[in-house]
Amino acid sequence: MYAVGEYIVHPGQGVCLVDEITAGPVASYQLFPVGQRRPMRISFPIAGEDRLRPVLSRAEAAALIDSYPALEIDTFSAKSNSLEEEHFKTEIREGSCLDSVRIVKTFRARIAEVKANNKKPPVAYERILKQASERSLTELAVALETTKEDVKALFLNRIGEDLAEN
C-alpha cells in the first residue's frame, strides 16, 4: 500500500502524488497528477493498486540516463501505422520508465531516418514520441527532484546532441 505524499505512476495519468487515502464504501487513493496543464484530482481504488507502480529511485533514474546511449531501439513493426501506434501507446501506459525512454529513442531514430529520405514522418510517430517523452521526462524529473528541462540537459550532456526539439 502506498502512503500519502508518495509519488506513483498511474497507467493513464502518468506520475501522480498520493494526496489522500479514503476509507469510504470503497477504499481509494486520491491522486493528483503531476506536470499536466490542468490536473484534476482522481480517485483510484486501492483494490486495483497492482496497476500502479512506484516512481524510479534517484539512483535508478541516474542509471537510466547514463545507459541511454547503449539502449537498443525497439524493432517492433506492424502492417499499419495505427496498429504500431496502439502497440507503443499500450507499452507507454503499462510499461516502465525504461520502456518509455526506449520508445523515445526509437521514434527519434525513425523520424530522423524518414527525414533523411526527404519525407515527412507520419503524424503517429510525432504523437508517440511526444507521449513517451512527456511520460519519461516527468518521471525522471520527479525521481531526480528537478525539472523536465534539467532532465533534458542531463540527456544532452550524456549523448552530446541537441534535444531541444524533443
Residue by residue, pLDDT tens for the chain (166 residues) are 999 999 999 999 999 999 999 998 999 999 999 987 787 899 999 999 999 999 999 999 999 999 999 999 999 988 888 999 999 999 999 999 999 999 999 999 999 999 999 999 999 999 999 999 999 999 999 999 999 999 999 998 887 754 444 4
- Residue 161 has a pLDDT of 57
Q: Helix, strand or coil for residue 33?
A: strand
Cβ neighbours of 91 (radius 10 Å): 18
Cα 99 to the center of its chain, rounded Å: 8
Residue-wise burial string across 66-89, b where 16 or more C-beta atoms lie within 10 A, e elsewhere: eeeeeeeebeeeeeeeeebbeebb
∠ Cα 133 39 16 (to 5°): 65
Q: Identify the pLDDT of residue 163.
A: 42
Q: What is the model's pLDDT at position 164? A: 43
Look at residue 90 and give its three-state secondary structure. Answer: helix
Strands (E), the chain: 7-10, 14-22, 28-33, 42-45, 53-54
Nearest residue to 36 (alpha-carbon basis) of 123, 156, 143, 131 = 131
